[in-house]
Structure formats: structure tokens, C-alpha cells
């Protein structure tokens, strides 16, 4: 049977109405075209910063799977720039075609967009022509976001077309959330902004929040101020007053994006599914007659019932009260009915998680493409499939994508994790129905995450309860055996060593790069690099070899195998060299490897042998020789100088001349290695220095501006406020305790 195309969809918040409609359009068109889809669907857009949410992004490493033939990427929905950059790099590395959703022109990817401009022009026309309103504000989304600017553009076109005045106070950038709407309401109520006759909001969420805040402040909606939204969400339709809105053609967007990526891959045009066009939805919030809401759907009624059940019954307690993955899967089997219209569910855990019983609580469970996975629960809507609980490689995403089938499938793949530990992923399909999961699925997965973490802790405690002193044998930062642990492990396995050979190699790996001036005074960075090195060394050692942290920035490997020092050095050098492309895992620094071979006497001394190994260095890795670009050391030193003296009048032309590089090449390589341009870094370092002076000195703001390299006080204040959202004086007031009067 001919292999089906597998299209990856990179998106988030699939439980939200307008995102669900996009996904529905994608899956509908995929089914009509006989293609499979895998939706990589974390639950949030990474606007909030915490370890748990950040770990969800590990699911995007599946992008590197060779199973995929192309990708649809809703880039604008992700708010964290570092997450966007990570996804961009993975997509580029995959070498597969990429189609962006709702995006402006991109230098690397094609894009498909919906005409928000015309829709917003139509909404504004309605307020002007039907209701005779003239003074109108527009509350759009974040500045420079494509869909925000398109919606604002439509507002401006309508105002200009009708000869109405607008200025920067009328065009307000927000967040597509409640905060910006509440802030706008406060400015109108306080008189900071003159009262408009109407506000055109970027979505229904903002419109609802704005209406509530204005009504609470004594302003009537729509009698005093008319309000409109966008997206025609269920919340807006149920609101009082009902929000005048516009039903965006999100289904059409998803379907059209799929057709275009399909043509890019195959060169063929596929048949269209029936499209659902957008339309204007009048409501009471603008002054139109209130059309009665049709009521909630059966799906929403079921979701509401299940939400009550899951919050008030014992699912969390039941699945948490287990001590191993198998027992956990048996308990979870009783609660899969909460997933409305689910046709098949797979809970897939990494082997690292399955085997965590033999590790420590502080061990970090990471994830990489190619990691071995195990399906601990495979269930259809009616019965559990015990034969399906098999192992597979994460590079295959799911075993079902490699099977022959007479029909296409679509799976939502959601990460399972707790804080910074990645456990695996849940994969759910709704069969022939092109629907997304409901909000109840979020609660369900969150309970699973908590339960899996508790199972992990219990497993580890159960395996170590008889040897509490074992915790004294490990290093806190790396999680490896410390010096005492290495000695104890060697003594315990000495007989095994002797059974293999009468000699052993004692290998010492020293991180000489951490002693360089560039890294001095940065303990956090040294600890991070040491921890990364620990993981890399762990991936290089063989079974039966003993390894651990011997001293600060020094690792030990004791092995009964011959010539292992050269093998370890080569493998470690390659991993270190590759790490320089990762902002989080970069440990591309100088290190050396020494070795000492000793006969296994009745009482061998690992300490003596490892000391000799430190003296007898046989291999050295240096950044300037081993990096693909020999300018890396120069750029590291340059960055150190920028960090130490940001106030100096740095000039890119002078820097390029000093380093014997062209200006364009210098800027390109600097951003490649450090993720920011020289100017962005200099601004960041200057602002960091200014914040220190604001908090810890009594210098005036003018003097601080000069001390940090700003020739203009006003320019300093503008740049500071753009970064911190408050003025320097306000920042000082917030971060310093008030002085009590004498």
C-alpha cells in the first residue's frame, strides 16, 4: 500500500474555539486528501514563564522525525520569542516544507493568511453607517504581530473612508486578553483618555473584559459606549450584553493552508472541502437588536458535566495512589471516558521514566528525538488493547503511523511533564470526526502529570529506603556519584572488574575552559555547563563502567575495557561541538582527557590513579581548533568585554576592524552564537547596569544614564520604559524600601 503523507501541525490552545476551527479545517481537508496528520499540541502559548510550562516545548523535538513530510505552523500563537526561535531552528533542520498560518511574509517559510483587514473594516463601517458613531477607538493585539496590525489596518481604512479623525490615542495595542482591556477601561473612567463613542476590540475576550470594566465603573454599554469583538466565540454570544462580533473563517484558513502545503509537497492540486465563510454577527453590545443565543451544544453540556465530575470526584487521588507505571495505567483506564468522543488513546512514556526507579529524585528526565518510548495504555473508545502496549522509537512518533491502513488518521500529541522533567506524551484521536479536544482534556492531562510525578517519587523512595546513606554519595548539581560514591562503587564492583581484566583504565576529564577568564565570576553558568557535561559523559560510558564528579570541574571514569580514553574523547568532542547551536545546552569549552592504566592489586587506590591521570593528559579539545568557525573565541571575548563595560562608546565598524572581520559577517556570526545582535546585547547590558545603580546607589537618574553610556537622558528613559514597562524613577520606587521619616 502506498505511503500516506504525514503533515505535522504545530499549534497550541486547541481547546479554544477559533483554534479548534483552524484544526477542524486542517483535518477535514487532510481526510479528503487521504493524508495523516499529527498535531503537536501543548496546552499554552508560553506567555507565562515557569519550569513546567517551558518543559512542554520539548514535544517540538518530534519535528525532527523523518515520518513527517511537511508542516503547518501557527507561529503567531506562540508568545515566547525563544520558543519561536527553537521551533524555527527545528523546522529548518528538518528540511521539510513549512506553511505558516496567519503570518506576514517570512524569509524562510511560505504563509497563508485570513483577511482580517476587510473584516475589521466591515465592523467599523457598521458602527459608523448604522449607528452614526464618529469617535471610535480600536483595541488590537500586540504591536508588530501580523494579525494585530491587519485588524488595526482595517479600522484605519474605514475611518479614513468616512472622513473621521483618529490618532495614536485611538489606536491601542493590547494583548488579546483581559489585562489590556481593563487598563483601557481605567484610562477612560479616570479621564486620562477622552470618552469614545465606541471601541472596536481585537477579539471577544477583550470586548467582554472591557464591557464588564466599563459597566462596573458606571458607564452603560451600548448606550454610552458601544463595543464590538471578533471571532464570535461562545463566551461572547452568551455574554450580557451579547457581543457584536465577526465569525472569522478559521475553518477556511486551516483547509486552505493544508491545500497549499499539499501542493508544495506533491505538485498536485487536491479537491476542496466545503468551506465555511466568515460573517458579521450583530449583538446588543453595539446597539443592535439582541438575537437570542441558540443555547449550548450537546458537546458543551457533556463537557460541563464531566468538568464537575473530574473536579469533585476521586480521579486524582485514585491514579496518584500507585507505585509503578503498570498500576497507574490500570487505574487510569477507568477514567478515559472523560475524553469526549475519543476513538483511541495512547499514553506513551520514555524509557528514562520507566527506569527512573533506579535513579535519584534529582535526576532530570530529558527528551530527545529517537528516545525509546513505551505505550503503557492503549485503548479504543470501548476496550483496552493490551497487545498494543509495545516499545517504539520517538522518531516514529506513534507506531500507527508506520502501519498500513485503508483510512487516514489524525492524532493530537500532548506533552506529559512535571516542572522540568519530561515523562512522554499522550496521543488521542477522534476518529472520522475532525474535532479538537475540549477544555476538560486539560484537567485530565494535568491530573496525569501530577500522578506520574508522584509515581516517580514513590518508585525512587521505595528503591532507596533501605539505604538512606546512599544520598550522601551523589553530587547535587550533576546528579552523578561524587568522589566518595566513585570510590564506593569501585570497591563494590572490583570483583566484576577482575573477572574481565587484571588491569583498569582510570580516566580523568577536566573542564579547563571553566578556569578561563571569560567564565570567572559566573557560578551559575559554571554549574550549568558542568551539569550539561555530566549528561554528555553519561551518554558516552558503557555498562559496567563507573563514572562521577571527582572534583570541581573534573570527572572520573573507571573502566575495565582497553583504549576507552580515545573513544570517550572522540564521542565527547562531537557532542560538545554540536552543543554550541543550543542556547540552553551550550558547553562548547576547552577540556582535556588524561588516563592512567593500573593493575588491580588486592587494594587498588582509585585516588592515586586518578591523580596520575590528571598529570598524564593525552587528549585536548580547544574551542578555536574544534569549532567550525575559528572566530568563536574572539566573539566570546568580545561579549565578555561588552558585559563588563557596556557604558563604553562601542562602534560596530571599529569592532569589526579590530577583529579583522567584515561588519556584516561579524553581526551575522554574533547573533548565530549568542541569539542576539551586538546592539541588543549592549542595550541589555546597559539596562542591567542601570537597574543595579537604581537599586543600590543614590545617584540621580541623569547621572545613571551617563554612567551607563547614554548621551541623552530622554533616550535612556524611553529605552528603559520600553524594556521594563515603567520609568527609571518608578522602577527605583518599586524595588527600594521607603525611608521612614525621622
Assess whether pLDDT exceeds 90 at residue 189: yes
Query: How many other C-beta atoms are found inside a 10 Å radius of the C-beta of residue 274?
Result: 9
Q: What is the per-residue pLDDT across 521-561, written as a single tens digit (0 to 9) for each?
A: 456 778 888 888 898 998 889 888 999 999 888 999 999 98
How far apart CA 498 and CA 501 sit, in angstroms, is 5
Q: Cell 479554544 identifies what position?
A: 16
Query: How many other C-beta atoms are found inside a 10 Å radius of the C-beta of residue 194?
Result: 11
The CATH fold assigned to 6-114+252-286 is Rossmann fold (3.40.50)
Q: What is the per-residue pLDDT across 1-29, written as a single tens digit (0 to 9) for each?
A: 457 999 999 999 888 888 899 999 999 99
Residue 71: what pLDDT? 97
- Residue 231 in contact with residue 247, Cβ under 8 Å? yes
Let me know if 739 is exposed, middle or buried by CB neighbors in 10 A (0-12, 13-18, 19+).
exposed
How far apart CA 8 and CA 59 sit, in angstroms, is 12
* CATH entry 3.30.450 includes domain 301-463: yes
Cis check for the bond before 291: say yes or no (omega within 30 of 0). no
> Average model confidence (pLDDT) for the chain?
86
Assess whether pLDDT exceeds 70 at residue 406: yes
The one-character DSSP state at 5 is P
Average pLDDT over residues 473-488: 86
Q: Please report, for residues 122, 147, 174, 453, 608, the alpha-carbon distance to residue 143 in angstroms, rounded to integers and kept in the order given.
A: 22, 10, 8, 39, 63
Strand-strand pairing, 98-101 and 70-73: parallel
Closest CA to 558 of 570, 571, 542, 572: 542
545, containing H or E segment:
none
How far apart CA 304 and CA 280 sit, in angstroms, is 28
How far apart CA 87 and CA 114 sit, in angstroms, is 23
How far apart CA 151 and CA 162 sit, in angstroms, is 17
Euclidean distance between the first and final Cα of the chain, in Å? 87
Residue 121: what pLDDT? 94
More confident residue, 92 or 590: 92
Average pLDDT over residues 75-85: 87
Same fold, 469-626 and 632-735: no
**Domain definitions of the chain by residue range:** 6-114+252-286, 116-248, 301-463, 469-626, 632-735
Q: What is the per-residue pLDDT across 233-283, written as a single tens digit (0 to 9) for each?
A: 888 888 899 999 998 888 999 999 999 999 999 999 888 887 766 789 999
Top-tier CATH class for 632-735: mainly alpha
Answer whether 0.75 is exceeded by the pTM: no
How far apart CA 145 and CA 116 sit, in angstroms, is 13
* Three-state SS annotation for 668-707: HHHHHHHCCCHHHHHHHHHHHHHHHHHHHCCCCHHHHHHH
How far apart CA 301 and CA 297 sit, in angstroms, is 6
Average pLDDT over residues 355-365: 75
How far apart CA 691 and CA 710 sit, in angstroms, is 14
How far apart CA 441 and CA 427 sit, in angstroms, is 12
Residue 106: what pLDDT? 75
Strand-strand pairing, 503-510 and 554-559: antiparallel
How far apart CA 201 and CA 210 sit, in angstroms, is 9
pLDDT band of residue 113 (cuts 50, 70, 90) is: confident
Residue 692: what pLDDT? 84
CATH of 469-626, one of 3.30.70.270, 3.90.190.20, 3.20.20.190, 3.30.56.10: 3.30.70.270
The one-character DSSP state at 384 is B
CATH of 116-248, one of 2.10.210.10, 3.20.20.540, 3.40.50.2300, 3.40.640.10: 3.40.50.2300
More confident residue, 663 or 359: 663
Amino acid at each position: 500500500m502506498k505511503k500516506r503523507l504525514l503533515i505535522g501541525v504545530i499549534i497550541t490552545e486547541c481547546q479554544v474555539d477559533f483554534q479548534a476551527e483552524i484544526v477542524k479545517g486542517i483535518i477535514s481537508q487532510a481526510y479528503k486528501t487521504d493524508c495523516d496528520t499529527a498535531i503537536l499540541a501543548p496546552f499554552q502559548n508560553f506567555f507565562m514563564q515557569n519550569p513546567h510550562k517551558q518543559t512542554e516545548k520539548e514535544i517540538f523535538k518530534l519535528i525532527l522525525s523523518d515520518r513527517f513530510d511537511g508542516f503547518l505552523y501557527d507561529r503567531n500563537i506562540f508568545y515566547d520569542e525563544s520558543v519561536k526561535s527553537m521551533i524555527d531552528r527545528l523546522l529548518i533542520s528538518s528540511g521539510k516544507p513549512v506553511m505558516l498560518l496567519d503570518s506576514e511574509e517570512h524569509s524562510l517559510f511560505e504563509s497563508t493568511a485570513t483577511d482580517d483587514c476587510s473584516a475589521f473594516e466591515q465592523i467599523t463601517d457598521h458602527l459608523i453607517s448604522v449607528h452614526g458613531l464618529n469617535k471610535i477607538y480600536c483595541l488590537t493585539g500586540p504591536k508588530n504581530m501580523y494579525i494585530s496590525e491587519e485588524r488595526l489596518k482595517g479600522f484605519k481604512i474605514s475611518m479614513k473612508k468616512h472622513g473621521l479623525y483618529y490618532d495614536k490615542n485611538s489606536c491601542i495595542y493590547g494583548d488579546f486578553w483581559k489585562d489590556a482591556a481593563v487598563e483601557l477601561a481605567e484610562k477612560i473612567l479616570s479621564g486620562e483618555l477622552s470618552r469614545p463613542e465606541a471601541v472596536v476590540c481585537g477579539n471577544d475576550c477583550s470586548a467582554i473584559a472591557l464591557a464588564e470594566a466599563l459597566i462596573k465603573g458606571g458607564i452603560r454599554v451600548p448606550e454610552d459606549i458601544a463595543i464590538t469583538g471578533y471571532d464570535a466565540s461562545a463566551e461572547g454570544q452568551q455574554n450580557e450584553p451579547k457581543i457584536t462580533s465577526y465569525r472569522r473563517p478559521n475553518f477556511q484558513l486551516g483547509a486552505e493552508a493544508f491545500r497549499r502545503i499539499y501542493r508544495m509537497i506533491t505538485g498536485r492540486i487536491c479537491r476542496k472541502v466545503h468551506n465555511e465563510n466568515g460573517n458579521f454577527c450583530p449583538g446588543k453590545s453595539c446597539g443592535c437588536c439582541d438575537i437570542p443565543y441558540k443555547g449550548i451544544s450537546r458537546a458543551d453540556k457533556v463537557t460541563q458535566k464531566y468538568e464537575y465530575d473530574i473536579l469533585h470526584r476521586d480521579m486524582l487521588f485514585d491514579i496518584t495512589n500507585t507505585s509503578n507505571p503498570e498500576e497507574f495505567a490500570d487505574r487510569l483506564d477507568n477514567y478515559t471516558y472523560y475524553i469526549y468522543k475519543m476513538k483511541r488513546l495512547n499514553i506513551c512514556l520514555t524509557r528514562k521514566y520507566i527506569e527512573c526507579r533506579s535513579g535519584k529524585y534529582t535526576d532530570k528526565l530529558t527528551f530527545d528525538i529517537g528516545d525509546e518510548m513505551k505505550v503503557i495504555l492503549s485503548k479504543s473508545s470501548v476496550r483496552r488493547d493490551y497487545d498494543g502496549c509495545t516499545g517504539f522509537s520517538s522518531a516514529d512518533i506513534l507506531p500507527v503511523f508506520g502501519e498500513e491502513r485503508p483510512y487516514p488518521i489524525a492524532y493530537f500529541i500532548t506533552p506529559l511533564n512535571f516542572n522540568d522533567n519530561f515523562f512522554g506524551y499522550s496521543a488521542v484521536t477522534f476518529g472520522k470526526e475532525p474535532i479538537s479536544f475540549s477544555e476538560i482534556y486539560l484537567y485530565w492531562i494535568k491530573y496525569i502529570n501530577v500522578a506520574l510525578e508522584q509515581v516517580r517519587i514513590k518508585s525512587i523512595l521505595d528503591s532507596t529506603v533501605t539505604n538512606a546513606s546512599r544520598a550522601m554519595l551523589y553530587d547535587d548539581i550533576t546528579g552523578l556519584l561524587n568522589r566518595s560514591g566513585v570510590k564506593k562503587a569501585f570497591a563494590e564492583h572490583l570483583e566484576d572488574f577482575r573477572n574481565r581484566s587484571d588491569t583498569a583504565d582510570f580516566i580523568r576529564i577536566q573542564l579547563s575552559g571553566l578556569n578561563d577568564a571569560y567564565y570567572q565570576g559566573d557560578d551559575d553558568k559554571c554549574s550549568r555547563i558542568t551539569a550539561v557535561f555530566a549528561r554528555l559523559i553519561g551518554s558516552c560510558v558503557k555498562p559496567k563502567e563507573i563514572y562521577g564528579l571527582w572534583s570541581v570541574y573534573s570527572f572520573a571514569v573507571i573502566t575495565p575495557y582497553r583504549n576507552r580514553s580515545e573513544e570517550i574523547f572522540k564521542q565527547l568532542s562531537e557532542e560538545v561541538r554540536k552543543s554550541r547551536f543550543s542556547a540552553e545546552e551550550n558547553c562548547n569549552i576547552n577540556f582535556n582527557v588524561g588516563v592512567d592504566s593500573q593493575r588491580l592489586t588486592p587494594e587498588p587506590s582509585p585516588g592515586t590513579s586518578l591523580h596520575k591521570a590528571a598529570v598524564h593528559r593525552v587528549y585536548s579539545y580547544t574551542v578555536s581548533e574544534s569549532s567550525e568557525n575559528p572566530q568563536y573565541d574572539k566573539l566570546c571575548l568580545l561579549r565578555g568585554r561588552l558585559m563588563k563595560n557596556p557604558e563604553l562608546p562601542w562602534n560596530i565598524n571599529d569592532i569589526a576592524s579590530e577583529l579583522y572581520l567584515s561588519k556584516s559577517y561579524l553581526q551575522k556570526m554574533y547573533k548565530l552564537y549568542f541569539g542576539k545582535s551586538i546592539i541588543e546585547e549592549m542595550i541589555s547590558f546597559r539596562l542591567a547596569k542601570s537597574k543595579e545603580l537604581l537599586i543600590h546607589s543614590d545617584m540621580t537618574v541623569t547621572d545613571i544614564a551617563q554612567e551607563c553610556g547614554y548621551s541623552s537622558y530622554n533616550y535612556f528613559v524611553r529605552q528603559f520604559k520600553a524594556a521594563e514597562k515603567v520609568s527609571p524613577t518608578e522602577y527605583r520606587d518599586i524595588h527600594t524600601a521607603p525611608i521612614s521619616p525621622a
